[in-house]
Structure 1
């Protein structure tokens, strides 16, 4: 049995100050129930903040301490990665302190691993198809496969955010000692009030990059539907960037960069429909888009491209569509209902109730139950 008084070490795939995603949302909820030590991935220029103090870590949220890991250029290449691994392991041991006992060590980083000498339940938490997305991260698929195979082999528990991702892990032939279980992404707190009125417009929330199928959004705009884009850009492909520039410059499109998380629910709550327009790729098929539950928490129904995670939700609040024609038709149906003045109160309530049933609080408790089980 694990000891609930001991900390949970979270080897994160993103920095605490980066875009709030699966890691941070889960840890914020875990911090309400446990002591969590968040370990940033290696970052260049972090040596000045690396302190040889056994209490290394800064409190960043209730129950959550953060440890920064310094890095060098090319940290995934030998021999730099060996130095990075030693630095990370040393930082974790110093932060844990004492007997090096923990409640659990959770690795949610494709290049991370379990620090030797640190005890506790070992959990591999797979948030994306990291190998298929290696090019997006600028990493070698071969290196990621080798690292993940080792981590999976050492894990006591393996959790993945989508059914497709569980299948993907198994298809890689990783020599795992325990079956992977589905622990989907969760929903943020719901907006408790219905907006005075909804507008006959669609919206997309989240990072704008090559994961999106721009033909779906272009089709929505070509159909004369106003579109809100809410989120930062991180695109790299020049042709994709030019298409996104043209889309954002259209008179029917309004683009807002990153907004505070506590403003998101009210901002999207007035929309007729939220969109999850993902391209048909192996990476996307294994994902569980956070934006889907962001829309539902705001009482907004969703039109999604045909993703396994969207089908898994199994609700009238999340409609999947194939191809541009089907996608645009589904979006137009939601927009026209609002334009005609049809009541959206009952549907909005069902969407919020669905979000409550998939809250991050519930996901955090499910993870703790798995750890302590």
Structure 2
């Protein structure tokens, strides 16, 4: 059939409509960017916090054949990680999203270099984008240390190929297959004493979960000249310790499913601690559904995180959460960066993934899932202890917030796709 011919005035009208639509979109995006920049600039003028995280002792519990130690103070964690590296005889696998070029960062660099010098196979991974501000000289290692700098920019168009999206946001240390560490702590002096985060050490057969995660990532992304790491199976089934691994290169994102399943099963309590809490529609609906049937749902997040835009966007959801019976607590004085949850005194997760789009549908992440009453009791005790340093946000108080808070929340909400 011949294509219909538009009258000249109709063609002119379409051109004008397109031009107006493009300009409106451009002005809208420009306004949003300008508003975001203004918020960030205003936040930078506020006084920085100089608080100190509670120096609580790590807690160790048996979990069947494994032993799990939970850390909430960075310096204690770093000391044990460094000691494990010093005792290494076979291999050291270390991945850190951020590896600062400061005193603590130097401690870790020196430790892995010493291990390599005595013949230990040392493989380290860090994210190129996250460490752009780290001096280049610090990220250079002797040739006996095998370094995978996850590329800042990868070839191809991420929007056309989802396998090329995501940063390497994991924090893993595995030594000799006998001890492994995972959690929210990056490597740096700031995190050693001034951030409240959570990490775990696992000793026993469960270390395979972390070793296998590191090896799979390394073998998939290694460069020429990097050694191939052993890829072994595991005879353990029905284990109570499992690793959920988000892997964009394989289009696999199980951490989100892990949360949704645990929330859906809950009968008594769902206690969540997050550095950045921006739930998607399914997680939001899941939390509201269980709160409606009487489950005690509580979320701890920072009063003020290190990403002000994430704070503003997160607050958009507070009205729905509070109206639905979810209780919100803001951790004061220091940044809480943990990525943990515990449900019904039976289930817990500790790992690297935040409840936001980047972590649950974008980045390389790893969370341990532990189905064990003793570990859940440890996580509940940590949660109760954290509540002592929190201020609860009530629905009444939130409804009385200034009008311009509401404007910011609605205006900046579209940035959720990038957070």
TM-score (norm 2): 0.26
